[in-house]
Amino acid sequence: MVVLGCAIAAFATDMFMIPNGLAAGGVTGVATIIQELGARNGLTLPVGMQTIVINAVLLLAVARAGGLLYVIQTVTGFVLLGVFTDLFAPFVTPLGGEELMLSALWGALACGLGYGLVLRCGSNTGGSDTIGQIISRKTSLPVGATTMVIDVTVCALSIPVFSLINALYAALAMVLMGIVVDAVVDGGNKRRMAFVISDSFDDIADDILHGLGRGCTKLSATGMWSGNDKPVLMVILERRELSPLKAIVAERDRDAIVIISDVTEAFGEGFKELGV
């Protein structure tokens, strides 16, 4: 799966991103800018090889904190991505041409799919996340926010090399890519978590257990205004099970309080096996 993900991301990068001057953040974006500057001066600087070298240098700064497994996962990801990027480049026909919107959208979708498959398997491809870890360690800034600033900076640096239009489309691709990555990593595992506060919790719990076929948990809580004990039922559901749950609660107690939130993943009996 990691090999497939890296191949898809590299293919999309060669087809949509690099030939159209879309430096959508990260180490690949930096390498795209450097390749263009080198080409203008008669130098051939393959993007894939650049990303391997840059990531290798960055990894040295965080390897001690991440441990051996982190190093293996990261090296596997960025080496495969870099090799595939240079391997596919001579054979891939660039698409999009003057239609930068087409290149940005399809490039982001395909790259997001590839990166998402890699991350879903527990591996990664290095890049701006590694830089964010280094900066965060030195400054205590949040890794996520730091990574976003780095990616935006890369897009901004591409303006004098390509154009403002290219940079704006690259930023659009970067945002869409992040959405696709999240969808691939979390896809199929998202659930809903419902908290039900009601005096009829026994009847509601019985309906959930035997009507929905879902397990639920009773939590102990105390109402701060009344000082009375208020048992809270917690249940993890599929999206399609929300409507039946609301109907069950409404039938038993229309004054019940129901709180519903998103759950990225759920493991254990009735859900995905822990560790898979």
Residue carrying structure tokens 């303006």: 159
CATH 3.30.70.120 positions along the chain are 191-263
State the pLDDT at residue 143. 62
Instruction: Report yes or no on whether pTM surpasses 0.75.
Output: no
Using the Cα atoms of residue 184, residue 150, residue 87 and residue 73 in order, give the sign of their dihedral: negative
Architecture of domain 191-263: 2-Layer Sandwich (3.30)
Taking the C-alpha atoms of residue 245 and residue 208, their distance in angstroms, rounded to an integer, is 7
Q: Is the pLDDT of residue 181 over 90?
A: no
Yes or no: say if 162 and 35 are a contact pair by the CB < 8 Å rule.
no
Q: Give pLDDT tens digits for 191-211.
A: 889 999 988 888 899 888 887
